[in-house]
Structure 1
């Protein structure tokens, strides 16, 4: 960790030397440790420390971006000048906005010393306990456990001075037998908030309950999607639907439908970087403060997320969703929440006459038809038959192919309890999802495992 004061003083000194009309510096520094395991054996333990600094400069209506992973002043100045030379040789972009102005940010507790100081030995000790418990049931364990500390800073020539230190801890556990598997995960900024016992017990129980899986014909079934399954769908909906670029290109299922009903009345989706119920992060990579953005409210399309460039095209304001400078056209929601309901997983199961319980999906392809959110993917690590309100036995995995617009219009129950789900943007956001009971979810194929 370089620290706020040193980052600001160094980058401010470099920006003063910029020949550009406007200049921005973005710093992302991370120290992370990862423990991977398979066959109930730790097979990899790695640590990485890296710092990346982006410079974005504008000359008239032209912009250049360059980056370095050296915090040496001479290297920073060289990178700044590279971005300036790139800007000089770009085409004019009439939509290019001015850099954001100075702002204030809410104080969020996103850095925990207990997580930052968590050692490889402590990770190994936690994992060994998981192995020991699984061995009692003759099960193997696979997965990974990571801890990290990061810092993000944005400094620009218009007065933006944003800095946030971060920590993160995540674990996933897959329990395996010769013919079944079970999965559970946890994510938090505070490592001690991870319930290792509950995560382990869930993975083991799912693996044991899905032994000797039976086949079932593809077709339409009432399904209960647990939060991990909902999260993987939401991650794809985020890619294809909730950003301004997708909206304006007409590829989103909400394109041209703001103010109209697009999903079921019980579906509300929003993004809020300040909500501590998820992995909060108070500003974007332009230094714009995050605020709550309603994407879907009671089934009605309400809006999409913007950065400064897409907001200018609409003569509006950035919602605080800029990614790093190499993605100037692609704002993205990184703190997604799906509002829960009044149900519970137990109540959902008891209400199903004949259907399926899905732990999670993998290998999802959400590009089949983005205007309908048509996706395909596989079930994994715990697929079960429900009959007469009870979970009967495990099933061999199935392939689904369905429109998520149709599926999310057929949700008949949502759980009150929600789970924080991991994603690729781990330290700066998350997905917070309930379980869902969906009518007539379509499965298009089956597997032999």
Structure 2
């Protein structure tokens, strides 16, 4: 990267004092941080100044572009298919990628889904798929391209060459209290997604207790910023802001979520998972120029299930193998008659994490069968003794802490609460 010379203290002081960073300052500091010339402590100071003073859109766009230019870019122009990708900001029970990728591929648009592993209360797509016997996440670029051409969908680990500046900065933000910044979040997500080279991108921006964004205005701002970043980079980008106040579907945990995803592909599954899968599929198809196909018809036809099976086999997995089951379960039953008033997404996510479905630090192993299974949703009528949830784990000593996470995570009430009409709250294009 050919950039002008600057000094880290100069750039930090400029943002500390509320100035707009120049293109040259941004190019230099991102490049110098990636190469090690700017020390972690200096970049941490700059990140904190950005958290406190924000960034203009022009700065965010340049910062994103500088992080893209720190590494390689993928190119799918040689495929015979149009391409579209989806990114979710993360939630509890968010298994949508699993049925969505094969569904969109069955509609004629290839889906190169580069995914990650979970950390904390939100699950990782690769962790879910790795519960399928034999399935592997790591593919070479050549293998990924072949699978996209042959099958139309791939879900795999992102290579280390995409936006290395972001990977280094993300690790630093995580330990310096500088994660909560819309400019830094938006540029982190979009630098990777734009570098992936897909022709169209649909963003699922979660809001609510189980999401990173708790406030609708913040979620809306993040969505608008990311859509604008994508469009400025020449990628047809749109976003759905979706509800994450209660878990998606009836499961939170790796193998549990795979089983639920297969139910959706088979024509069943929870209505909210089906609805959000179809809503995102329609956006991806529209952005890729395939509005002539109705994903609901394709899902009902079984063609998406066929693509799922081919996708799993192509990555070494056995789609017919039994999924792992946890060795121990504990049932939470209703202690009175009534209606389920609410089930808090964060509480369920923490419980699943504590049961072994998630990790506290990168590199930890996860339990494939651990998690929380819901037997009732908000608004359902229940009787005394009726099961509300089943907790799954291979390490029963974890039950106590998982139960503690759920203490205030659900409530039974006398009057039926208002039903959630749709998981989709807003559409931003």
**Greater RCO structure (CA 8 Å; 6+ sep):** 2
Which structure is larger by alpha-carbon Rg, 1 or 2? 1
Range into which the TM-score falls when normalised by the shorter chain: under 0.3
Which of the two has greater helix per residue?
2
Which of the two has greater strand per residue?
1
